[in-house]
Amino acid sequence: VPAAYNLGVTRGLLRADDLAFLDARRVAHLATADAAGHPHVVPVCFVHLDGRLYVPIDAKPKRAAPSALRRLTNVRERPEAALLVDHYDEDWRRLRWLLIRAQALVLVEGDERDQALRALERRYPQYAAMGLAALGLPVIALRPTAVRRWSASP
């Protein structure tokens, strides 16, 4: 178990079984809201590192400039988010989800952003292939404040 995992567990929110579930899922759903409270949700790639989660603004083609993406403007207006990681299965006894409420901030530079980008490249070969870490894009950092877990079969 890497030291970073132990730190995450020590911080008391994400347990070892949560981290194993996070590792097994490739996509999560990030909910944010703007200053007025209008809710928004997008599918995101993510990585966890040292008790935090990181969501990149990647180089997939978007209509808007990265800085204008709703998820970024929302986090700047209201620095919080809810990240949901779930497994859907037609056998509903296998349904499971993990909801992480978090403080959110946008990292536009610095060591933490760079480490997160490298971790994202390790987790997603697609990011490594596009050279994500060299693109100078921001990352959303999520510091968990509360975790809820649900599974159909305890």
Binding site for a second copy (CB under 8 A): 26-27, 29-33, 35-43, 60-63, 78, 80-84, 86, 88, 90, 92, 95, 97, 99, 101, 126, 150, 152
Please state the closest distance from residue 89 (CB atom) to a second copy, in A. 9
What type of residue sits at position 49? Answer: L
104/143 Cα distance (integer angstroms): 6
Please state the closest distance from residue 109 (CB atom) to a second copy, in A. 26
Please state the closest distance from residue 99 (CB atom) to a second copy, in A. 7
Identify which of residues 3 and 24 has a Cβ nearer to a second copy in the complex: 24
Please check whether residue 107 is in contact with residue 113, taking contact to mean a CB–CB distance below 8 angstroms. Answer: yes
Q: CB under 8 Å to 78, separation ≥6 — which residues?
A: 32, 33, 34, 35, 37
Identify which of residues 5 and 121 has a Cβ nearer to a second copy in the complex: 121
Strand ordering across the sheet containing 52-56? 39-44, 28-33, 80-87, 96-107, 139-151, 52-56, 47-49
Identify which of residues 29 and 50 has a Cβ nearer to a second copy in the complex: 29
